[in-house]
Chain A
């Protein structure tokens, strides 16, 4: 035991001290935050700019209304869109040519070309250098539609306001029923399931690779025999896997602290800049989901970690390892590909069976728990199956490891590995 602790300590200190770990641990949440915050910021920031838009109104009945409708304001209270009407002097083509030039010269951000038959289904055109500002195009499109619809309704002698009320869509509120009652859900759970499962998947692969690389380094640097003169191969393997697990937990703990801090203060920060955002309820992770996440991370880590350790002991370098690692990694990728299916029908018999298969359980059972809490018997069964498989894998990997770690030269074939396992 003392020896395992010594190995754990070495693994832990050596990895935690690397630049890679420090950068990854800090950069992880920063990147995560950036992914969420930057798009929002960009949207709000880039929009706050006055834009000049030309209008060629061939129907001669839209411009005034459009000018009234597009009354979005900037933060300083000025108009966001300044509309300018252009009329035909000689012919349409020449005018459009002129306007194209104005857009390219940045005199106008864009121009709108409204055909004569706009009320009868004619197609309006929006011409600009950049056509990916969906927010702006949406504003203009909506304004045009409502103007034309009103015109049509009035033409038929109908009151647009009343029609508007008649046409009001029905609101569909999604709620989630659980054993603790009914909760409002606006898709937050869905997002959380997705994010949790992806975090589990990525960290298991990431730490599995660290174990793999560690074993290969020990083997290729030939330090392993000195170490093995003091302890058993199993102790070395166990110490390595546990030490790297400790690194994983450290990283999770740091991220969790970031997360708690972020959810505490981000509300204030966000609402200061964008008052509207304060109304959106922050999705919360239920405590039981968090506990299961930890359990399944541990299970997944040890199941896959021991397999990676076994593979590492069979090969001479990382290049050789990649071929053998492929099938193992496939076991992790398959459940990720099955995610959407399981989310849509979490309690179908196929989903139940898939989530009980030990290699898939860490990802798929966690996913099912987050979408629709399955009966406890199923959760317990998947945990027990995974633990049993992990024990089997530890036994197999330890046998392979014990022989493989001292074998150099040609990568062993399947038959040879079976033979290794029989060595006393």
Chain B
């Protein structure tokens, strides 16, 4: 069963393709992340799923139905452009948004109190939204997204602007929701978040999908040809070694892509004695590396193509 099934959707704004021939499947009960650089078409895709804009071509099925008004109360949505009515009181605003989703008043009140307590915002219930900090407003928006206990939760950049404590809180709640059988789709640039919690990913660049599937399988495809090195000293010589295809150097940390058929052991031998090695790990490439490689590839294709 798929919580979301997108088939060949295209959206143009004038001559500009925001999304081109995109298809994807989100299995029910999974966490799915949409990745891609700015302007890739993530938000447009999400807005089409939410029926806020209509695709020019293709079809979208949400929870096995075409998106309709009844469906909207089974879906929770946190938009990228976040905002709340600045003059409304927090409690009232949440009550209004729950009413739009068809939650009974009494039930809504209970849930609002529970969520405000969990986010440590109970004392702000009677305050106006404009008195809240940005981080607090983001929590209120998150509550509004899940208050009606939706089966499908779509979060556009949920972690942007959050401190580590609240990022963990959001991540914990997302996992909790997954364990309750709900499906979560979120878009982000933050690869470490994706690697930790996503089951499936979709990488979009320049309006087109460049990679989709189960995260574990994707990584396997790339094989164990990556070495992660935690070191001290001058490691600039590594780049010119014959085993090395590409490096991504952070100064004390390096991700090395090896040429095919080369043995990581040779690399270790050559490095010993020249630098101090704290950690040497052979593994699949990080999602970050895959992301950069894939986006680089498609961008090259575009610049050559034009």
A residues engaging B (CB < 8 A)? Answer: 2-3, 6-7, 10, 14, 217-218, 221-232, 406, 408, 419, 423-424
Contacts and interface: CB of A to CB of B under 8 A. Distances in A.
Interface string B55-83: 01000000000000100110111110111
B99 A6 contact: yes
Given A7-B100, A226-B78, 13 more contacts: A221-B83, A222-B82, A225-B52, A226-B82, A226-B84, A227-B100, A228-B50, A229-B79, A230-B97, A230-B100, A231-B72, A406-B47, A424-B54
Contacts of A2: 102
Interface stretch (B85-93, B190-198, B224-232): B85-93
Of all A-B residue pairs in the complex, the 4 with the closest CB atoms, nearest first, are: A222-B83, A230-B100, A225-B79, A229-B77
B53 A223 contact: no
B14 A14 contact: no
Given A3-B100, A6-B100, A406-B53, A222 B87 contact: no
B96 A10 contact: yes
A224 B73 contact: no
A225 B82 CA distance: 8
Interface string B131-156: 00000000001001000000000000
Contacts of A10: 96
Nearest to A17: B87
Given A2-B102, A406-B52, A226 B88 contact: no
B111 interface: no
- Of residues A224, A229, A406, A419, which shows the largest number of chain B Cβ atoms within 10 Å of its Cβ? A229
A226 B72 contact: no
Contacts of A406: 47, 52-53
A424 B9 CA distance: 14
Nearest to B87: A14
A221 B86 contact: yes
27 contacts: A3-B100, A7-B100, A14-B88, A221-B83, A221-B84, A221-B86, A222-B79, A222-B81, A222-B82, A224-B83, A225-B77, A226-B77, A226-B79, A226-B83, A226-B97, A226-B141, A228-B52, A229-B50, A229-B52, A229-B72, A229-B75, A229-B76, A230-B72, A230-B73, A230-B97, A419-B14, A424-B56
B101 interface: yes
Given A6-B96, A10-B96, A424-B54, A230 B83 contact: no
- Of residues B53, B73, B76, B79, which shows the largest number of chain A Cβ atoms within 10 Å of its Cβ? B79
A223 B84 contact: yes
A226 B79 CA distance: 6
Contact of A230 (B14, B82, B86, B101): B101
Nearest to B73: A230
- Of residues B14, B73, B97, which shows the largest number of chain A Cβ atoms within 10 Å of its Cβ? B97
A226 B144 contact: yes
Contacts of A7: 100
Contacts of A224: 83
Given A6-B99, A226-B97, A424-B56, A232 B75 contact: no
A14 B129 CA distance: 13
A419 B14 CA distance: 8
Contacts of B96: 6, 10
A403 to B, nearest CB: 8
B61 to A, nearest CB: 17
A10 B96 CA distance: 7
A196 B17 CA distance: 54
Contacts of B79: 222, 225-226, 229
A225 B43 CA distance: 12
A221 B72 contact: no
B77 A223 contact: no
Nearest to B84: A223
- Of residues A3, A221, A230, which shows the largest number of chain B Cβ atoms within 10 Å of its Cβ? A230
Contacts of A231: 69, 72, 100
A330 B71 CA distance: 43
A406 B81 CA distance: 10
Contacts of B78: 226
Interface in B22-72: 47, 50, 52-54, 56, 69, 72
Contacts of B52: 225, 228-229, 406
B85 A221 contact: yes
A218 to B, nearest CB: 8
A228 B52 CA distance: 7
Nearest to A424: B54
Contacts of A6: 96, 99-100
Contacts of A230: 72-73, 97, 100-101
Contacts of A222: 79, 81-83
A326 B141 CA distance: 36
Nearest to A407: B13
A227 B52 CA distance: 10
A223 B83 contact: yes
A223 B50 contact: no
Nearest to A403: B53
A217 B83 CA distance: 10
A229 to B, nearest CB: 4
B138 to A, nearest CB: 12
Contacts of B84: 221, 223, 226
Contacts of B81: 222, 225, 408
Nearest to B141: A226
Contacts of A225: 52, 77, 79, 81, 83
Contacts of A3: 69, 100
Nearest to A236: B100
A3 B86 CA distance: 21
B15 to A, nearest CB: 11
A214 to B, nearest CB: 10
Contacts of B83: 221-226
B227 to A, nearest CB: 44
A189 to B, nearest CB: 43
Nearest to A13: B92
A217 B50 CA distance: 22
A227 B98 CA distance: 10
A7 B85 CA distance: 13
A217 B129 CA distance: 14
Nearest to A7: B100
A231 B84 CA distance: 16
A424 B11 CA distance: 11
